[in-house]
Amino acid sequence: MKNQDASSTTCSERSATTSLLFDGARLRSFLVHASLMAILFELIFNFLIIKYVKYTEIDWIAYMQEVKGFLNGDWDYSHLHGQTGPLVYPALFVYIYSILNIITLNGSREIGQIIFAIIYVALFAVVLLIYVRYTSFDKNSLTYYWIIIMLMISKRIHSIFVLRMFNDCIAMLFLYLAVFAFCKDNFNFGLLFYSCALGVKMNILLFFPAVGILTVQRFGFTFKSISKLVILVIGLQIVFALPFLYENAYEYFHYAFDFGREFTYTWTVNFKFLSEDVFRSKLLSRSLLTGHALILLIFILSKWCVGERFKNVFFLLFKYKNVENKPLDTNHIIYMMFTSNFIGIIFARSLHYQFYVWYFHSTPYLLMYIPYFKYNLARLVLLLCIEIVWNVYPSTPLTSIGLHVCHAIILLGLLFTPSPASLPKSQTN
């Protein structure tokens, strides 16, 4: 009897301890501490990578060579070249990498790596802040702890930042700052950050359908909303480009915003199961563009512009006014931004290894949003499958097919899951 009583007492103590550890209030209060510890860990970990992992030169020297001409007073885009070819990025890229050239004492790789470690941690912190503060997953569960783990596991992402120093990293930092500003209902700063992201790399256009519609949903289809988009997005791009436009406007647009640019088959991650001839064909390009437009239209009609508040945005665009004049639900903002980009990723003409940073940090949100995964472990496994594909070099037909399968699973899950706009407000807060 004494042994049974002792055993019963031990079980009760274990149960009480487990209940205490996973109590909702404790999980919520510890989440901020866990986030801060994750940020500190990433800071230390990135510096350890710099110290102990061999650096691989891909584009850093080319970036420094491309901005050297600008620093020497040449503003003609057709004259700005690096060892990998001509400069093909917008004007803000030139200014930022010119500053980096000066700070790094003419392109010192070691100093550059330290700067990109800081950029990594800054982006990680902003993304964590968006998740913890502005998404509405169950804070009484372990969901956010799973998200933190997911955001930290990528070998490829760490490499893109501190072992490659691609401009995609800077563009995405600006982009997540834009998402954060939109969530704070500061659309002026949001559009400003968005334009800065676009000024570094053109892939940021994948978010523009969401940015445009969100601005209209917030302010109505009015002069105010349209002027915000024109001045803060398009106008700022013109301001950035003024020196180059003055020198040679045609060459600037030809190189910085070349929508017909051909990609190198060697580097493609998503289409190695096709022959090189098919990969370069106009038919594939047109098919992808058609698919992108079709799926985007489906999301606009059935996911983004639905519910009592937004039902008229698409069909009655020219009559629509935001009579409520209230901030948008942050879940709706995040959902639209991340799905707009993800659809573009699925139908991308080609994905190179550094492009993984375009959507990695938003993937945990998409996975957590889909309710059909019964366990968070299943979500983690799917993310790891995507991660494995992005770490195989060179990519193979099998890895390319695997990437499309993983993307298709997520897309189907999103299609069959109600969007935040279609849910009652009580279910999104």
Amino acid found at 412:
L
**CA-closest candidate to residue 90, choices 227, 238, 298:** 238
Amino acid found at 168:
D
pLDDT, tens only, 332-363: 999 999 999 999 999 999 999 999 999 999 99
* pLDDT score recorded for residue 12: 45
Does residue 429 register a pLDDT over 70? Answer: no
Q: What percent of the chain stands above pLDDT 70?
A: 87
pLDDT, tens only, 133-177: 999 888 767 899 999 999 999 999 999 999 999 999 999 999 999
Amino acid found at 117:
A
Comparing 222 with 82, the larger pLDDT belongs to: 82
Integer Cα distance of 105 and 343 in angstroms: 40
Neighbours of 70 (CB within 10 A): 22
Integer Cα distance of 31 and 278 in angstroms: 49
3-state secondary structure of 154: coil
pLDDT, tens only, 270-284: 999 999 999 999 999
Distances (CA, A) of 201 to 87, 156, 194, 300: 12, 20, 11, 25
The ranges assigned to domains in the chain are 28-427
Residue 80 pLDDT grade (very low, low, confident, very high; cuts 50, 70, 90): very high
Q: Are 313 and 217 in contact (CB under 8 A)?
A: yes
Q: Are 407 and 345 in contact (CB under 8 A)?
A: yes
Integer Cα distance of 103 and 329 in angstroms: 40
Q: Are 128 and 239 in contact (CB under 8 A)?
A: no
Rounded to a whole number, what is the distance in angstroms from the first to the last CA of the chain?
51
pLDDT, tens only, 171-198: 999 999 999 999 999 999 999 999 999 9
**Average pLDDT, whole number, for the chain?**
90
The alpha carbon of 42 is separated from its chain's Cα centroid by a whole number of angstroms, namely 18
Q: Are 355 and 168 in contact (CB under 8 A)?
A: yes
Integer Cα distance of 228 and 223 in angstroms: 8
* pLDDT score recorded for residue 2: 45
User: Residue 305 gets which letter from DSSP?
Assistant: S
**CA-closest candidate to residue 327, choices 217, 418, 411:** 217
Which residues, including other chains, have CB under 8 Å from residue 329's CB and lie 6 or more apart? 420, 421, 425, 428, 429
* pLDDT score recorded for residue 378: 95
User: Residue 264 gets which letter from DSSP?
Assistant: P
* pLDDT score recorded for residue 382: 98
Q: Are 299 and 343 in contact (CB under 8 A)?
A: yes
